[in-house]
Amino acid sequence: MTATQIPPNSAGRSASRAPAVPDTSAQGGRDRRVRVVARLPPEVKQRAEYWASKRGFSSVNEYVAEAVSEQIRRENFDYDLPTLEIARLNELTDHITALSANCANLERVVLSGFDTLIQLTRGDNYLLDDESGES
pLDDT at 91: 95
Note the Cα 50 to chain centre separation in Å.
28
Nearest-CA neighbor of 12 among 68, 85, 73, 82? Answer: 73
Please state, in angstroms and rounded to a whole number, the distance separating the CA atoms of residues 17 and 70.
10
What is the per-residue pLDDT for 133?
A: 66
State how far the alpha carbon of 1 is from the alpha carbons of 5, 14, 34, 65, 133, in Å: 6, 21, 12, 18, 98
Query: What percent of the chain has pLDDT above 90?
Result: 44
Residue type present at position 133 = G
CB-count exposure of residue 37 (10 Å: 0-12, 13-18, 19+): exposed
Q: What is the mean pLDDT of residues 109-131?
A: 79
Region 93-105: what's the mean pLDDT? 96
- pTM strictly above 0.85: no
**pLDDT > 50? residue 132:** yes
Mean pLDDT value of segment 95-108: 96
Q: Which amino acid is at 16?
A: S
What burial class does residue 63 get, using C-beta atoms within 10 Å of its C-beta: 0-12 exposed, 13-18 middle, 19+ buried?
A: buried
Query: What pLDDT is stored for residue 82 in this prediction?
Result: 76
Banded pLDDT at 12 (limits 50, 70, 90): very low
Neighbours of 30 (CB within 10 A): 7
> Quick one: average pLDDT of 29-34?
79
CB of 63 within 8 A of CB of 55? Answer: yes
Phi, psi of 62 (to 5 degrees): -65, -40
pLDDT tens digit string along 42-91? 999 999 999 999 999 999 999 999 999 999 988 888 877 778 888 899 99
Is the pLDDT score of 7 beyond 50?
no
